[in-house]
Structure 1
Amino acid sequence: MPAGNGTLGAAVWAEDGFSAQLNRADTFPNLKSAGRLTVPGLFPLMRASDYRGRLRLHDADLVQQGGGMSARSYVRADKDQFVLEVTGADPNVTQTAELRLWDGRTPTAHAAKGTAALAETFTDEESKGRTGAVAAVTALGRDVKAEVVDARTVRVSFKPRPDGGFRIVTGVPSYTGGDLGKAARTALAGSGGSGIDRAHRTWWHRFWAGAAPMRITSADGSGEYMENLRAQQLYMTAATMRGPVPSSHGGVINMFSPWKDAVHWSADHWWHFNLRQPVYTNFGADTEEFNTPYFRLYLDRLEEMRAWTRAHWKGSEGVCVAEFLRYTGTAEACDSTRPPDWLNRIVTTGPEVVYNLWLQYRYTGDRSILDESYPLMRDVTRFYLSILEEGDDGKLHLHNVNALETQWDTSDPAPDLAAMRVIFPIVAGLADGRGDRTLARDLRATLPKIPDFRTVTRNGEQVIAWSGTDEQGRNTQNPDTEVLFPWGVYGQDSALMQSTFRNRVYVQTREWSEDALQAARLGRGEDVKNLLIQGTKDFQVFPSGFTAHGKNADALRESNYYNGWGAVVSSAVQESLVQSYEGVVRVASAWPKGWDVAGSVQVQGGHRVSAEVKGGETGVVGVQAARDDDLRIQNPWPGRKVRVADGVSGRPLAGPTDAGVIPLRVKKGHSYLVERVDRPVSSFRFQGVTGEPATEVRHLGNRTLGVETSVPQIPGELVSVVAPDKLRPLVRAEQGATTHVDRHYVISELPAELNGAELIRGANNDSKMTSPAGYLTFDLKAPATVHVAFDARGKGTWWPGWLEKDGFTETGATVKTTDTTFVILKKDFPAGRVTLGPNSGVSGQGSSSYFTMVGRR
């Protein structure tokens, strides 16, 4: 389960009693973890038959209880400290807290006066910049002692207080060298005494009080599931996006990784396409302050991007903002001297950043955003002006650029044509106000020369083409629907846009697919619902709400948490309820049938629009004005007469009218009700949106939010695995136990005599390995019988020779799993070290890897 404060993240799970991997968002270039904290004294809690746990989003903490113990863990909102508070421990039993790094790491270790620490710095070869982190741990208890265990491990030991309580604090600030002892003490400052969570709770309660609420109910539970995914998305954003750069790389949230130092895609680059989805969620949720790291990524690197553009895009002016941007401001894109590829020559990133900056201003009203952003806005448009080429038709064309990752080396991509139509008038207006009249004139002169969108025929209907030419498709983005989102050039009243969406080439292929959001903008409520449900079933493989990149992945084979889908879900439900992208506020224009909702959405201008929909009928519409403004609200009840009333007194202010669009002049701080004349809202009583803690796991088909049941790890009474490390966590052999650490196969039938044996699971990724000879090594604490379960499909073909050589004999019994049937072989061993060989004896062959069960002789 994830915990974080915007710069420090923790993945918390029940391994070795209690485990938390600690990750910062700024240890470039490789985002290496600060280490794993383990507390084996919590094994009794995690294994208790009455165990229960809850990630409390409102308080941003994980609370676990069982066996008379409790453990509350969180990352402080006000400091880079991970806190574990425990009650109910035996006051006479010594506890330990261990910080550990992994092979290949070269930290400096420190231990003194009850504090232990590991620190490591990293130098970027390209920029010579240095980053790093220190992880310092201490405990509040009795007889606290610290020690260096080995080059990559430190430990704190202590006894709980007489009442059985103790606290472990791990401080993890950034570190670039210097006195490690001093850095460790600084990292742990303020961790003693009571009330250290006061600021933490205050921060999170204020966050939730400020976020636009939404409660969804449905007969089949699908609406509630989407509500929960939205809440998880808002929590994740607040827990990761408070630093100087975004925490997501290629859609992966490394701050919550439990996978040691594994980083997928890129650790030091960002794909813009994966950054944009949360931006729109934040606009609608009134959490737009968490867009700041996204904007800082580009604003803080303007000079570096200019220099890159001058050097790599010959003959251009201004700045090309790379789709694939490094944290140093350099890129592996925006290079006209290189052939096109997946990312090179995508030039719509800059316009999107410009437009999002403009929207940030529109939602917040903060003009300082425009003052700081204008140099970037100016240079992005100058780049476009410099690469446009006039054709024989008198139009200005783009050549040899990409249509996203889908088409390479094409002309006039639909996203670029839409981008210029949207941002050129915006920047021209800003240029006028800053005396930049030449740019304003050039932008306005260019607008009528932008080519029309080319159309083609798909499935017998006219649709917008990806671009002006017909290069093959490579990735599964739909450049044609970009005209709708993010650009909003055409909307739900456009027959061409509707047909383009219906006939899009790629339908929701990845977790970043924005089909449901686009369906909401087109007023297609049932498509919204179906796409959200199907996408969640396809992508959301983790019970914490995170997703995999592709469809139907096995969570045990993944090593990444993706967050794009949560943002797509959130934006889709928000825009289904309220949207304002065409300058008109539409209420419930795409709300799905069968879902009831009460909630609020922020619209452009920073205003909150609240609505309630029950049984397919919109009953309540309210507006809370953020500033003086002129709104245009589409009649929520087409053809019905409506009026506008004061939100406090109920006094009519405008109407009655049955017009399709209602003009409304609002004043800052005032509230307004839009009501049907035949069913006045003023007769309704206000009731705030509230919620209750979940008492059960949410289900959506085969997906869940929460863990319903599991077979817990055991400390090992007989067995201690030495290698490989991934097979070290033991469980009991019983029905429902997983048999492999990297697959979801579980035992369905087990001989009675093996029930309760200590189970060393297999690793199916190693199923075809024929070496090393000593693949699995473990120590036996007493004489025992070792049973190995081998895939029956390999008998007589690829079973390895070490089985017979080492004296294993078949028992005649089998184990059945949800994968296949395994034949059981056994051998008696004395106490001491045991070494077993690999899964296969034939190169390139092998099915499910073997697993091992150990019982007393």
Structure 2
Amino acid sequence: MRRGWKCAAAVAGAAVLVAAGAPALAQTAEPARTTAWRNGALRVDTAGVVSRSDFVLAKPSWESYQSMPLGNGRLGAALWAQDGFKAQLNRADTFPNLKSAGQLTVPGLLPLMRAPDYRGRLRLYDGELAQQGGGMSARSYVRADRDQFVLEVTGADPDKAQTADLRLWQGRTPAAYARQGVAALAETFKDAASGSLTGAVAAMTADGRGVTAKVVDGLTVRLTFRPNKDGSFRIVTGVPAYTGGDVGKAAGAALAGASDGAQRTEAYWHRFWQGAAPMRISSPDGTGEYMEQLRAQQLYMTAATMRSAVPSSHGGVINMFSPWQDAVHWSADYWWHFNLRQPVYTNLGADTEEYNTPYFRLYLDRLKQMRDWTKGHWAGAEGACVAEYLRYDGTAEACDSERPPDWLNRIVSTGPEVVHNLWLQYRYTRDESVLDEAYPLMRDVARFYLSILREGGDGKLHLEHVNALETQWDTSDPTPDLAAMRVIFPIIAAQADRRGDAALARDLRAALPRLPDFRTVTRNGEQVIAWSGTDEASHNTQNPDTEPLFPWGLYGADSPLMQATFRNRVFVQTREWSEDALLAARLGLAGEMRSLLVQGTKDFQIFPSGFGSHGKNDDPAKSTNYYNGWNAVVGSSLQEALVQSYQGVVRVAPAWPKDWDVAGSVQVEGGHRVSTEVRGGEPNVVGIQAAGDDTLRIANPWPGQKVRVVDGATGRGRPLAGPTAAGVIRLAVKGGHSYLLERVGEPYASFRFQGVGGQPATEVRRLGDRTLGVG
């Protein structure tokens, strides 16, 4: 799936660099009297702002759980200091068990790591880990243009021999190769269930003097060399996919172009950050800065893992950054959709939606297999049941009407959510080809629902013997499904009309008014939405009753029923995938959102690399997987609190905490970018960069005050809308133009310009006993 309407140059222009020497955003005597909006954009020193979220290593990462992540979207590396320098290399596609390609060890870096003046930094803006100490330096990165891990060292003793070992472990059966300064391990993996063959070759060479290679044993190969005369050396380890054949030829191909790549890698990361919607947060107690860094880590992780043919995470686990050999939680060959949805939504608001492509490819490329599975395993069904638990070969084991319900079997709301996310991808990118490619899946999901709905004695169409997420099994009329059908049936009907599928459009529109209403029950003396139409006991801790709020957007902050449902939800932030903070943001509950983010971070974010655990307060030293779900929740919550656009209305700072100041941008539906700065809970001005011709409805950011819209490039001229004190302002926009929303009593012209800047982090960031960085 292509990026759509935005070329790289257009994206890069959305957050513009401040000229050298321009002042950073800071607290002043009159903090509300400055603005970073100028000449049609929020002026941001992107490198400076991103570097605020660098991960500082005040001491080496001696333990595996302290490892730092690098990646290019297909190849990932976990780096720590054990035995001098260690990097575990993992691909995203070595199915069925996602086995590692091996660990690289360089003992000659031990003096650097043990040096009293050691310091290190994971530089997010450059996508590299830089370390210094004892007169030596080490720079590590995964090339953006090739699947190669690179270690560059300076300051080594030119007369002291260096070694580099590449090794696997017991239970692995690689082919080992060593010849003419190249050493390699290669292994393939045959899947008995599908017959597929995957694998990887890990081949290394060095830029140094007298490089020799040898096979140490069946699991280890070694390079020996001396540094160049200036004390520098470079080790390159190529790790492409491998499905068998001559190991020597595969090793040579893996190391092609090994002498270059640094500039293209930096260019990739700089382009990524210039295109991502910026966000800079400051707070008296440091909690805002901590959340800013978690969001930055989520975006960094996305760009470092999501460029393969399928999502790199499963069950919330990021195996590409694992330092724990082949240990994998859950089933490495399956995906749980509930753990994929949080990053998808974060990418939309962050303007990084191209990294949703592997997620969509997972389902679009397996439609035939899902359709065939449904025909054979769901009696009387048509179309395709999209499984909540989907295998990489398209096997949809969670869609089986003949098998008893369980944790995952008979969750059928996954298909509508994939369809809805495809629709949102179109809405944010304005790329018509998304809908063209999505329609077969849309059609089959609609046909599946229409075929399993059953008319009841009340004349309504009911769903029976299906699950409400993992919470309720074998229930009727789950709230997530009722919400899903209300949203996607009109969308699919409109697409069916465009494609001459009149019968499907007619059937969907006929079914819509016959869907049951959401059942309500009483909890704690308040009327709330029920999980489903029946009262089966709970199994997991998801809250099906909040699904109409997110992801389906059927209610807003003005709904007493939804507010009461949120207040009385049964399960409060129990796992790293819990979306409570995002729900609070949608409901305008700024204080609640803030406290949920802080508490959730204390509960789940246990690793100094920013990753989390599945449960509360797990011991990082005893854990063997990194989880990424929590940071996606943080990213989505911050974006939704600053700017939201569901229900067709753009709302600015609807849930932003008053003690957090922020300067930032969020992409909204239509692909428009909305920028503002909020201090003391109040925006100064609101800038809009229009992605295309549209009519926006914007909630007045200053309720009750008169506002107007002026040209965003000049900040002057005849008002394009207003003055008005209306609660919602209608604004016709043209693509490529910018607009500025200001208060009549405090216009843009009264603000002093001050760009959004930042300085590289100098200390390990802390929140209670949680850290970002190694201290």
Say yes or no: TM over 0.5.
yes
SS in structure 2 of the partner of residue 53 of structure 1: strand
In structure 2, the residue matched to 1:179 is: 246
The count of aligned residue pairs is 706
Rg bigger for which structure? Answer: 1
Kindly indicate whether the alpha-carbon contact (under 8 Å) linking 2:675 and 2:688 is maintained by their aligned counterparts in 1: yes
The separation in 2 between residues aligned to 1:593 and 1:39, in whole angstroms, is 49
Distance in 1 between residues matched to 2:739 and 2:322, nearest whole Å: 45
Superposition pairs for residues 398-797 of structure 1, below 5 Å? 398-649=463-714, 650-651=716-717, 652-708=719-775
What is the one-letter code of the residue matched to 1:91? P
Q: Distance in 2 between matches of 1:16 and 1:4?
A: 22
The answer to whether the 8 Å contact 1:485/1:518 transfers is yes
Question: 1 CA distance for matches of 2:323 and 2:88?
Answer: 6
> Identity percentage over the alignment?
77
The equivalent residue for 1:106 is 173
Counterpart for residue 769 of structure 1: none
Aligned partner of 1:73: which letter? S
1:328 equivalent among 390, 393, 415: 393
Offset at residue 617 of structure 1 (A): 1.7
Give the corresponding residue for 2:410.
345
Please tell me whether residue 122 in structure 1 is matched to residue 122 in structure 2.
no
Give the aligned partner of residue 258 of structure 1: 323
TM-score, with length taken from structure 1: 0.82
Distance (whole Å) between structure 1 residues aligned to residue 202 and residue 158 of structure 2: 27
Residue in structure 1 matching 2:106, options 16, 29, 39: 39
Residue 40 of structure 2 corresponds to none
Partner letter of residue 439 of structure 1? L
1:171-219: CA deviation from partner (whole Å, max 9, x where unpaired): 0000001111111011001112xx5301101111000000000000000
The match for 2:5 is none
Shift of 1:683: 3.0
Distance in 1 of aligned mates of 2:122 and 2:467: 43
Contact 1:596 1:615 in 2 (8 A): yes
Q: What residue is the counterpart of 1:30 in the other structure?
A: 97
- Residues 5-404 of structure 1 mapped to structure 2, 5 A cutoff: 5-192=72-259, 195-404=260-469
Query: Contact 2:653–2:682 at 8 Å: present in 1 too?
Result: no
How far apart, CA to CA, are the structure 2 residues paired with 1:171 and 1:686?
48
Query: Once the two structures are superposed, what CA deviation does each residue of 1:301-320 show, in whole Å capped at 9, x if it has no partner?
Result: 00000000001101000000
Matched AA of 1:66: G
Q: Quick check: 1:492–1:523 contact (8 Å CA) kept in 2?
A: yes
Q: State the shift of 1:685 in Å.
A: 4.8
Q: State the alpha-carbon separation in 1 of the partners of residues 423 and 752 from structure 2.
A: 37
Aligned residues of 1:114 and 1:145 also touching (Cα < 8 A): yes
Q: Distance in 2 between matches of 1:567 and 1:690?
A: 24
Cα root mean square deviation, aligned? 0.7
Distance 2:549 2:712 in 1: 34
- Structure-2 separation of matches of 1:237 and 1:128: 30
Provide the residue aligned with 1:802 in structure 2: none
Indicate conservation of the 8 Å contact 2:187/2:199, yes or no: yes
Deviation at 1:563, TM superposition (A): 0.2
Contact 2:658 2:679 in 1 (8 A): no
Shift of 1:384: 0.3
SS in 2 for 1:169: strand
Contiguous gaps of at least 5 residues in structure 2: 1-67
1:220 alignment partner AA: D
Partner of 1:106, secondary structure, is coil
- TM-superposed deviation, 1:284: 0.3
Whole-Å Cα distance in 1 between the matches of residues 754 and 87 of structure 2? 40
- Cα distance in structure 2, aligned partners of 1:35 and 1:118: 8
Alignment-mate amino acid for residue 153 of structure 1: T
Q: In structure 2, the residue corresponding to 1:706 is in which secondary structure?
A: strand
CA drift at 1:689: 2.8
Partner residue in 2 for 1:775: none
Which residue identity lines up with residue 241 of structure 2 in the other structure? Answer: S
Write the distance in 2 (CA, Å) between the matches of 1:682 and 1:661.
Answer: 23
SS of alignment partner, residue 139 of structure 1? strand
Deviation per CA, 1:241-276, whole angstroms, max 9, x where unpaired? 001000001000000000001111011000000000
1:538, 1:281 → 2: CA distance?
21
Counterpart residue identity of residue 313, structure 1: W
TM-aligned CA deviation for residue 691 of structure 1:
2.4
- Per the TM alignment, residue 490 of structure 1 is displaced from its structure 2 partner at its CA by 1.0
1:27–1:132 contact (8 Å) kept in structure 2: yes
> Counterpart of 1:462 in 2: which secondary structure?
strand
Task: Name the structure 1 match of 2:32.
Answer: none
Return the alpha-carbon distance in structure 1 between the equivalents of residues 658 and 437 of structure 2: 44
Q: Equivalents in 2 of 1:307, 1:294: separation in Å?
A: 21
Contact 1:213 1:689 in 2 (8 A): no
The letter of the residue matching 1:660 is: G
Asked whether the equivalents of residues 111 and 146 of structure 1 are also in contact (C-alpha less than 8 Å), the reply is yes
The Cα offsets for residues 353-409 of structure 1, whole Å up to 9 and x where unpaired, read as 000000000000000010011000000010000000000111000000000000000
Aligned counterparts of 2:755 and 2:528: Cα–Cα separation in 1? 44
SS in 2 for 1:582: helix
What residue number does 1:738 align with?
A: none
Following the alignment from structure 1 to structure 2, what is the Cα–Cα distance between the partners of residues 33 and 496?
A: 49
Q: Give the direction of change, closer, same or farther, for the CA distance of 1:175–1:629 in structure 2 (3 Å limit).
A: same
Please state how far the C-alpha of 1:686 moved relative to its aligned partner. 4.8
- Distance in 2 (alpha carbons) for counterparts of 1:92 and 1:2: 32
| Partner SS for 2:152 | strand
CA–CA distance in structure 1, aligned partners of residues 624 and 187 of structure 2: 23
> Runs of 4+ in structure 1 displaced over 6 angstroms?
none
Q: CA deviation at 1:96?
A: 0.5
The answer on whether the counterparts of 1:214 and 1:689 sit within 8 Å (CA) in structure 2 is no
The one-letter code of the counterpart of 2:688 is V
Report SS of the residue matched to 1:473.
coil
CA distance in 2, matches of 1:663, 1:254: 46
Contact 1:424 1:447 in 2 (8 A): yes
C-alpha deviation, 1:682, in angstroms? 3.1
State the Cα deviation string for residues 709-735 of structure 1 (Å, max 9, x = none).
xxxxxxxxxxxxxxxxxxxxxxxxxxx
Describe the superposition over 1:395-429 as per-residue Cα deviations: whole angstroms up to 9, x where unpaired. Answer: 00000000000000000000000000000000000
**In structure 2, the residue corresponding to 1:656 is in which secondary structure?**
strand
- 1:773 is aligned to none
Structure 1: unaligned runs, 5 residues or longer: 709-857
Contact 1:112 1:147 in 2 (8 A): yes
Larger deviation, residues 692-701 vs 292-301: 692-701
